[in-house]
Structure 1
C-alpha cells in the first residue's frame, strides 16, 4: 500500500504541527524506543519550534540512555491524544538545551500515523483462552493453508484494524512492511478466518517472568467485511466478559 493510500497517515504540515502542539500542551507521555533493541524511555514534548523545524523532548535521567538514542539509526515514538494512538519516527536525535536544561531534539516529522477511535479500540486477549494466528512464510495471495502448515503464535490484543503478536521464539520476520498472506486467525468461540497482515512495528520486551519476547504489531490488509464483522463480534464478547468480571459478576 502506497503511503498516500494509508487512511491513518497525516502528511499536512499544519496538521502535524497542530497535533504535536496539542501533545505538548497536555504533557502527553511519549514512549521513545530504539528499533530492534529492548530499550525505551518515556518522555514528553517540551516545545515545537517551527522556525528551526524541531521538536524538543525531555531527556532521559540516565545519560547513557540519551547517548544510545543519539547514536541510534532509527527511533520510534508512540503516544496518544484523546485515547487515539499516534505514531511517528526519526532517523536522527541530537542533544540540545531547553530553558537552560538538557534536552533532545528531532526534526518535525514529515508524517505521522493517527488511528481513528473506532479502529484503535482494542481488547487484550484472555490468557486462559488464547487467540492464535498461524503464519506461513512466503505464502502467496492465492495459496491455501493446509493443516499443519505455518507457525501458530499467540495474540496479545486485537482491534478492528490490526493485532499484536507475541513472538516468544523470535522466529517471525518483523521488518516493517512485511506482508503475510493467507494467515489463519483463530478466535475462540467465534471461528477461524484467512487474513492478510502487514507488519507495522516491532518491540522487544522483557516479561515479568524475565522471559524475552518480541511484540509485533500488524495491520489487516484488504480485510473482507464478513471477517471484520466476526472480529468485531469477538471484541464485543471479550469486552462484555471483562466488564462483567470487573463488576464482580
Structure 2
C-alpha cells in the first residue's frame, strides 16, 4: 500500500493487520457502546471522490444489531450516503485507532434530526500499537505549520496551514483555499511547526493524499495527509514528548486533577 489514502480504505482487507481484526459480536458491540458513551467523532469516508464527513454514533438499536449515526450538514453528501453500499469509518478511542465498515444504510429521523441507520459491522479493526497513534491537535493549543511552497523561477512562497493531527510519522494539515494546487508526491523542505511548551521543530514532508472534508458546521476544507521525510531523531523526540504531554494533561483534566 503506497499511500495513506489507500491504507485508510484498504486497511480492513490487509493481511498485515489480520491479528487486529475483531469478529466477535460481543467485543464489537462493547466498542460501539464506548463510542456512543464518549461521543467520539468519526471520520466517514465515501467510497469514491476522496470525500468524507464527520459524524458520531448516536445510539444502538435492535438488540445492538443496528446503529444510528448523525447525518452530514451537506445535503449533497447525504444523498450520496443514502445511495452507496458501504462506508468506511475511522476514529480513535483512548489513543487506539478504530476502523470499521458500515452497510445496510438507510435514512431516518432520530429525535427530530436527520440521521442514518446501518447494520452493526461484522468486523472491526482495533490497532493498539503505539506507532499508529496520531494526536488530534488540541483546540486550546492550535498547531500551525509554515510551509515554503516552491515557485517556478522565484523564491519559495511561505503559507501557514492549520495542523489537524500529528505523529512521529507525519501530520495532516488544512490547505488554505488559494493553495489547492497541492498534489500527492510534492515535497516541502523547511516546514516549521511550533509545538507549545517545546518550541519549533523543522521537518521535510511529502504529500501522501488529498481529500475534501466537510466539517460538522457544513464548511468544506481540503485536508492534506503528509509524511515526514528523513525525520531527525531530535525532531522525532520533540514531537513524541509533545504528544505525551498533551495526552497526560488531557487525562489529568478528565480525572479532575
TM-score (norm 2): 0.55
The answer on 1:103 being equivalent to 2:117 is yes
SS in 2 for 1:58: strand
> 1:10 aligns to what?
17
Indicate conservation of the 8 Å contact 1:174/1:202, yes or no.
Answer: no
Q: 5+ residue gaps in structure 2?
A: 109-115, 252-257
> Matches of 2:250 and 2:30 in 1, distance apart?
32
> Matches of 2:204 and 2:162 in 1, distance apart?
16
Cα shift at 1:117: 4.6
Q: 5+ residue gaps in structure 1?
A: 50-54, 138-145, 244-249
Cα 1:5–1:103, aligned 2, differ >3 Å: closer, same or farther?
Answer: closer
> 1:192 aligns to what?
202
Indicate conservation of the 8 Å contact 2:43/2:52, yes or no.
Answer: no
Q: Deviations over 1:141-188 (max 9, x none)?
A: xxxxx951676533234233432211230644788xx44434442023
Indicate conservation of the 8 Å contact 2:58/2:67, yes or no.
Answer: yes
SS in 2 for 1:23: helix
Q: How many residue pairs were aligned?
A: 218
> 1:228 aligns to what?
236
> 2:111 aligns to what?
none
- 198-207 vs 231-240, which deviates more? 231-240
> 1:56 aligns to what?
66
> 2:187 aligns to what?
181
TM-score (norm 1): 0.57
> 1:246 aligns to what?
none
RMSD: 5.1
Q: Deviations over 1:184-204 (max 9, x none)?
A: 420233342223352386523
> Matches of 2:20 and 2:164 in 1, distance apart?
34
> Matches of 2:189 and 2:104 in 1, distance apart?
37
